[in-house]
Amino acid sequence: MTLTREQVMSALSQVMDPEIPSLSIVDLGMVGDVMIGEDTVRVDLIPTFLGCPALDFIQRNVERALSETPVTIRWVHDRPWSSSMISRRGRQALNEWGVAPPSDTEEVACPFCGSHNTSHQSPFGHSLCKALYYCQDCSQPFEKIKTI
């Protein structure tokens, strides 16, 4: 049986980011391309950053999600990932998880209370792609995905 692009993307939307389990790799913008052959599927994935320790984990989960057909995973390095590739649904998932989505403004809204009365605490959170902030109104620390 040959899969359609919609079926492949639906399966890939069930592969979640290991750090933010409510965020799929599709909504994160990691799926670069899907090519469907007669008997195989090739998925091009774009790493959020080259040193990400979860790439093997993500690849295994993509292979599991598409286990009904032979699949080839190719990590694409000539097309860099950008935080602008995160979908609207992905930005909402980040906020719901307590992580501020990337923005082009210096004003950062707290994902817990929505206040803009926040301060930058550190250029790095628990991973290189996040910065640490603090909300002055609800007294919550939170991370923000860096704009890349």
Verify that 16 and 56 share a domain, yes or no. yes
**What tokens appear for 85 in the block?**
């590739």
pTM for the whole structure: 0.90
Q: Would you call 22 helix, strand, or coil by DSSP?
A: coil
**What tokens appear for 22 in the block?**
């409510």
Verify that 111 and 42 share a domain, yes or no. no
Verify that 63 and 115 share a domain, yes or no. no
User: In the prediction, which pLDDT does 92 show?
Assistant: 96
- d(C-alpha 91, C-alpha 79), whole Å: 21
Reported as a single tens digit per residue, the pLDDT across 29-70 is 999 999 999 889 999 999 998 788 899 999 999 999 999 999
Verify that 19 and 71 share a domain, yes or no. yes
Domain count, the chain: 2
Verify that 18 and 76 share a domain, yes or no. yes
Q: In the predicted model, what is the mean pLDDT of the chain?
A: 94
Q: What are phi and psi of 115, to 5 degrees?
A: -65, 145
**What tokens appear for 100 in the block?**
């501020």
Average pLDDT over residues 97-125: 94
- d(C-alpha 93, C-alpha 119), whole Å: 22
- d(C-alpha 89, C-alpha 81), whole Å: 17
Verify that 9 and 79 share a domain, yes or no. yes
Residue 130 predicted with pLDDT over 80: yes
Average pLDDT over residues 102-115: 93
Verify that 20 and 57 share a domain, yes or no. yes
**What tokens appear for 42 in the block?**
């090739």
Verify that 103 and 139 share a domain, yes or no. yes
Average pLDDT over residues 98-102: 96
The alpha helices in 38-137, defined as continuous H runs, are 55-65, 88-97
List the one residue out of 91, 61, 70, 66 whose CA is nearest residue 10.
66
